[in-house]
Amino acid sequence: MSPPANRAAQGEALSRAVWDVLAQQGLEKLTVRAVAAAAGCTTGLVMHRFPNRRALLLHARQLLHDTTRQRVEALEAAATSPRAALRAVLRQGMATDQETTNWSIVWLGFLAAAVADAELIGMHRRNNRAWRQRAERLVAAAAPDWPVDQVGAVALGLIAMTEGVAALAAADPAAYPADQQERMLDAALAAYGLG
């Protein structure tokens, strides 16, 4: 097997393996051996790239956030209006296809793993607060004349709604198909006066 170019690329590949195991086998089976098997290597490589299992999980968690942030920034930059940007950014947070469904399951797994891990919960809070600020900025841009508390309440409602429906759809894809999620989002945006 041709080895990756550098150590950073291997760390990224191992983090992707962490996501795969988390999405397909769950948190309880997220072992070093399972990650190595998913990455197509042995535990030796894993333990040479990361000092221990927690460091591997922390790296995978941060990479997950960085990747989503890049995707969100690209969507925001490509939007033609503030309201289109808001909708596009919110839409990618739902679980509307196989890929975003997997991301939602991984997100849930990391959140459950963070319950007893101070560093993981700290990363979650930093990333989530940044995500919330982005939503508030997008709502403020889409409704420039709103008072700040209304912006905050509506932005919170929107991010809570999308994260919630992503969890619901991840756990029961048949009951929450993509079009129902989209209709839910559009109905909410219209009700808030952001359609």
Partner DNA sequence: GCGTTACGGTAACATTCGTTACGACCATAA
Partner DNA sequence: TTATGGTCGTAACGAATGTTACCGTAACGC
Footprint of DNA (CB under 7 A): 1, 3, 6-7, 10, 29-34, 41-45, 47-49, 51-54
Q: How far is CA 64 from CA 5, 104, 121, in A?
A: 21, 11, 14
Check if the beta carbon of residue 140 is closer than 8 Å to that of residue 146: yes
Out of DNA, a copy of itself, none, what residue 162 binds, judged by CB under 5 to 8 A for its kind, is: a copy of itself
Window of 8-16, 39-47, 60-68, 179-187 that interacts with a copy of itself by CB under 8 A:
179-187
Residue 112 as a binder of a copy of itself (CB under 8 A): the answer is: yes
Residue 149 as a binder of a copy of itself (CB under 8 A): the answer is: yes
Tell me how far apart the 2 most distant CA atoms of the chain are, in Å: 58
Q: How far is CA 83 from CA 15, 80, 138, 139, 193, in A?
A: 34, 8, 8, 8, 10
Out of DNA, a copy of itself, none, what residue 72 binds, judged by CB under 5 to 8 A for its kind, is: none
- From the CB of 1, what's the least distance to DNA, in Å? 6
Beta-carbon contacts of 82 under 8 Å, excluding residues fewer than 6 positions away, are 138, 141, 142
Residue 10 as a binder of a copy of itself (CB under 8 A): the answer is: no
Out of DNA, a copy of itself, none, what residue 12 binds, judged by CB under 5 to 8 A for its kind, is: none
- From the CB of 120, what's the least distance to a copy of itself, in Å? 10
Beta-carbon contacts of 75 under 8 Å, excluding residues fewer than 6 positions away, are 85, 88, 89, 92
Out of DNA, a copy of itself, none, what residue 71 binds, judged by CB under 5 to 8 A for its kind, is: none
Q: How far is CA 148 from CA 6, 42, 82, in A?
A: 47, 53, 17
Check if the beta carbon of residue 46 is closer than 8 Å to that of residue 14: yes
Interface with a copy of itself by CB under 8 A: which residues? Answer: 22-29, 105, 108-109, 111-117, 121, 124-125, 128-129, 132, 149-150, 152-154, 156-157, 159-165, 167-168, 171-172, 175-176, 180-181, 183-188, 191-193
